[in-house]
Amino acid sequence: MSLLEINKRIVDEVIKRGAYQTEVISNSVKDTTTRFTKNAIHQNMASHNQAVSIKAILHEKKIGIALVNSLDKNTIINGIERAMSMAKVSPSDPDFKSLPDPKNVTPLKSIYYKETAEYDPEEKAKSVKLVIDTASDYNTNIKWSAGLFTTQVARLAIANSLGLGVETEYTNASLEVITRAQSTGSEGSGFAVKRVKNAKEIDFTQVALKAADDAVTTMNPQRIPLGEYEAIFRPEAGTLFTDYIGSIGFSSKSYNEGQSPLIGKLGTQLFDEKLTIWDNGRSLDTNIPQAFDGEGTPKRALMLLNGGVPENLCYDNYNALKQGRESTGHAPISLGGPRDSPSPIHKIVDIGDASIDEMIEETRKGVLITRFWYVRTIRPDLGTISGMTCDGVWYIENGEIKHPSQQMRFTDSFVSILQNIRLIGKKSTNEITPSTTLPALKTAHFRFTGHTDF
Amino acid sequence: MQELAEKGLERALILGAEYADVRIIENERRTISVRDSKSDKLSHTLGLGFGVRLIYNGGWGFAGSREVTEESVNKTVDQAISIGRASSLTTKKKVELVKVPSFVTSYETKIVKDPMSVPLEDILEVLISADKAFRSKSPHVRSTTSQIEARREIKYTVTSEGSKILQKFYLCGGEGRGIVRGNGQTQKRTYEINYSSRGYENIEDVDLPALASQAALEAESLLNAESCPLETKSDIILDDSNLGLQIHETIGHGTELDRVLGTEVDYAGMSFLTLDKKGKFRYGSNLVNFVADATVEGGAGSFGFDDEGVPAKRVDLVKEGRFVGYQSSRETAAEIGDYSSSGAMRASSPLNLPLVRMNNINLLPGDWKSGEIIEDTKDAILMRGQNLYSVDQMRLNFQFGPEIGWRIKNGEVTEVIRNPNYTAMSYEFWSSVDAIARDGWTMYALTGCAKGKPVQGVVVGHGGSRTRFRNIRIGVTGGT
């Protein structure tokens, strides 16, 4: 029996017990993770998780949720009873209008690959060994490599009592490599990542070489002064700012709570006109496309930022109906959880016309940044965030890379950073992060506020 | 269930495992949350699953599943064996574990009132009262949330060295917060019932609506408060859960031995406390003493035995300011030549590998009275409430931005300061401590400490009391 068929049976059972509406979400996830460090595998695992989330809604708009980790009949009946008993004591939610009506969902092709599902442990270990050996052979200064290789096969089904029923199965795989090089006691660090749907598309040698090359070229980093710099963000780094503007800026929930920096600015020229960002869950150009959202609403293209003008917010069904709108298909998949904030997780940034080399040539005093680490929000309404650079920063002067830099703390506003975008890369990638397909970005102003010792 | 665990262990050994342990876990969680005085989430989670960890030909293998049947146990053990065999293709040396005695025993959290038996209506009443209390004191409120959560877990662990350990844990706690907007500002204030290994008495001991009212008054005061002085140095005082977070990020994570050995470089990062620093490095002033203590009654990270069957213990991490010990596992302890594990191995679910995790990382009380620290302070900012926290990969440079501050002037608490923040290097920060209170020592808790891949979130405890830090850089905004 498919997950969707199980969900439909549960829907019938909940309605039989007197619920006004009900929604059942179930998933089955098979994960494998091979972690390695200092040139050896140290953690190697597989797991098969499954969950069924049952939401019971009574006539008085009282809602209860139960989550069970088993498809066993008795456990599911127990879950139904728990959801009903939770609903009975719940206060009414006057903002709840209805679960979504069924809409036509066209399934996506090319999101499931048996090559990913069938990648066996020995093959994985050999792939990891290839990464380790490739990096070690690249340069005598290479000290060690670390990282992880993951595969995932996921099945997701959603049914509700209004007749909605959708199901999907998809795969993804990722390889992340961190390589350290050492010269006269000073370390360099390189990072490379590849996220794909078909694990056979990972070129292990290429990923290893990129991490190794950056490790070697970041040896002997120097401390640069605190202050303002031009900054070139590789896609791994640039995704930080598009994710922030997506989750805080374009979420209808954070907008209505007064947390979004876009409040009162929709339809205005807030950002540089070169910047255009879509969200399109159906696009195969995104890393993990989805045909429907966490409520079963079809995914579709939504213009977020059009030539620097923020245009549309993201809604799930609950927040949309509360404001007399229609869901944009941005309900997160939330099993047993509260309503998470609807936000864009399939962003596509339009490409520009510059290469990273050209960005460097046009930089007077700046930095090239590989990625960030441990970034947190200081003030969401201003977009102020703080965090560290990670694995590869180079100082640029008068159009040339002068030397690698030590890691730096920045404190700045992602709004201001995106307002000052000067150049956009001409080559986009969807293999860096699951949330955004984007090119490199260059901003005119980026503030470093702290040093560290490495 | 226990029989299935033992059968799984037996199969692993028959198939050639050099070491094996099996954990079967049944867990239950009730989460009741309220948003804007309406129910947000009333959920009940029922979980069951098992994990098999083994060493085969010197390599680690692990597999876990939610299907707890004999067939599934057999299949999962076979999978763990094949993964262990594959791991051994890259191992340079065989895994070694420090010795631990075998135990056939049980452990149970001491509780007075089973949180799973408390009527949901009673919990909702507390939450809605708190939510309304916040709203009644805050004309500028934009949204409010509050939540109470209870967890129960039964874990049976068997090891190939003869241990059979049955443990039953309870955890209970909650929090609420309100977001206010006015005067061009958006501010928030949080109030908490620290998660604790206790029953529902942990909730009943606290007047949540009173905490909510106080939080609302403080949130309102932030809307018209002075900003934190920009880019200057100041003495600061910490005395609430933000102190717990500070301990967590700098001392807790910094002293995890797996980080030092590089096994978390791909996610959680490493640590500057390299092996050569043990016993020598000055991590704090002479007043500073930290322990990892899984035996604290009620501590959110307390237990009887860790996931490798190592009994709960208390170990010194920093003694009179000197870094003296790590949090470790049987494997990491063996790797650096220690004779015993600190007993820090925990997994967040049966489907995850145990990792070196904090249990309760505590700053031991000092000699001062809390009030004396304020009276003795000429000019400082008292900062409270967890908000921003960011630390570098080596646990050196950090920046914290609590929710609220108060200026301390000539021994008195004066006006409210909004958007306070401070930054320092970890060892400089703890070396600046010149006063720690002996009273008001509290166990705080963090419920979402993230580590490992796949990411595992566990609950950890942090004890501390009012502490004063001298000459710290504050007011870092990057000009925004």
Q: What is the interface size between A and B, counted as CB pairs within 8 Å?
A: 273
Do B318 and B311 contact (CB within 8 A), yes or no?
no
* B439 contact partners, CB below 8 Å, separation of at least 6: B365, B369, B370, B465
Q: Assess if residue B479 is contained within a domain.
A: no
pLDDT of A339 over the 70 cut: no
Position B480 in a domain: no
Kindly state whether B94 is in contact with chain A, defined as any CB-CB distance less than 8 angstroms: no
Domains (ranges, CATH) in chain A?
A: 3-215 (3.30.2290.10), 221-454 (no CATH)
Q: For residue B400, what are the domain limits? A: 227-474
Q: Do B218 and B280 fall into the same domain?
A: no
Facing residue for B48 by CB, picked from A65, A69, A337 = A69
pTM of the model: 0.96
Q: Would you state the pLDDT for residue A154?
A: 97
Chain A touched by B116 (CB under 8 Å): no
Task: Please name the residue ranges forming H helices in B38-119.
Answer: 70-87
Where does a domain end: B178, B195, B224?
Answer: B224
Query: Residue A201 pLDDT more than 80?
Result: yes
- Is the peptide bond between B454 and the residue preceding it cis, with omega within 30 degrees of 0? yes
ipTM here: 0.95
Are residues A449 and B476, on separate chains, in Cβ contact within 8 Å?
A: yes
How far apart, in whole angstroms, are the C-alpha atoms of residue A254 and residue A319? Answer: 11
Let me know: does B305 contact B103? Beta carbons within 8 Å.
Answer: yes
In a domain, B342, yes or no: yes
State which residue of chain A sits closest to B269, comparing Cα positions: A373
Spatial distance between the Cα atoms of B108 and A241, rounded to a whole number of angstroms:
46
pLDDT at position B223, please? 97
Q: How many residues does chain A have?
A: 454
Instruction: Decide if B392 touches A, using CB distance below 8 A.
Output: yes
- Provide the chain B residues 280-339 that lie in CB contact (below 8 A) with chain A: none
Q: What is the pLDDT of residue A74?
A: 93
Question: Considering the domain boundaries, does residue B313 fall inside one?
Answer: yes
Residue A338 has pLDDT above 70, yes or no: no
Characterize B239-249 residue by residue with b for buried, 16 or more Cβ atoms within 10 angstroms of its Cβ, and e for exposed. bbbbbbbbbbb
Work out the pLDDT band at A110, boundaries 50, 70, 90: very high
- Chain A residue numbers with beta carbons less than 8 Å from the beta carbon of B60 are 41-44
Residue A28 is predicted with a pLDDT of 97
Residues B342, B247 share a domain: yes
Which residue of A47, A64, A75 is in closest CB contact with B65? A47
The last residue of one of the domains, among B206, B224, B242, is B224
pLDDT category, A337, cuts 50, 70, 90? low
Q: Say how far residue A140 (Cα) sits from the centre of its chain.
A: 36
Chain-chain contact of A382 with B66 (C-beta, under 8 angstroms):
no
Chain B residues close to A124, C-beta within 8 Å: 86
Distance CA A424, CA A350 (A): 8
Q: How far is CA B298 from the centre of its chain?
A: 14
Check pLDDT > 80 for residue A3.
yes
Cβ(A150)–Cβ(A46) under 8 Å?
A: no
Is B393 inside a domain boundary?
Answer: yes
Could you tell me if B31 and B146 lie in one domain?
A: yes
Report yes or no: B341 and B330 within 8 Å, Cβ to Cβ. Answer: yes
Separation in Å, CA of A155 to nearest CA in chain B? 15
* Number of folded domains that form chain B: 2
Block means of pLDDT (10 residues each) for chain B, 480 residues, are 94 98 97 87 91 96 96 98 94 90 98 96 95 97 96 98 98 96 93 97 97 98 96 97 97 98 96 98 98 97 98 98 98 97 98 98 98 98 95 96 97 97 98 98 96 97 98 89
Instruction: Decide if B75 touches A, using CB distance below 8 A.
Output: no
Q: Contact A48/B82, CB-based, under 8 Å?
A: no
In tens, the pLDDT along A94-108 reads 889 999 999 999 999
Residues A98, A107: Cα–Cα separation, whole Å: 25
Only one residue has tokens 């807790």, namely: B252
Average pLDDT of chain A, as a whole number: 95
Q: Are residue B285 and residue B146 in the same domain, yes or no?
A: no
A41 vs B59: CB contact, 8 Å cut-off? yes
Closest A-chain CA to B66 = A49
Closest residue in B to A125 (Cα) is B86
| Position A185 pLDDT exceeds 80 | no
Q: What is the CATH number of the domain that holds B95?
A: 3.30.2290.10
Q: How confident is the model at residue A250 (pLDDT cuts 50, 70, 90)?
A: very high
Answer with the one of B224, B242, B262 that is the final residue of a domain: B224
Token pair for A45: 């695992």
Q: What is the pLDDT of residue A184?
A: 79
Residue of chain A whose Cα is closest to the Cα of B144:
A257
CB contact B91 to A (< 8 Å): yes
Do B213 and B325 fall within a single domain?
no
Same domain, B327 and B204: no
Residues B219 and B284 in one domain: no
The pLDDT tens digits of the residues spanning A114-143 come to 999 999 999 999 999 999 999 999 999 999
Percent residues over pLDDT 70 in chain A = 99
Chain A residue numbers with beta carbons less than 8 Å from the beta carbon of B449 are: none
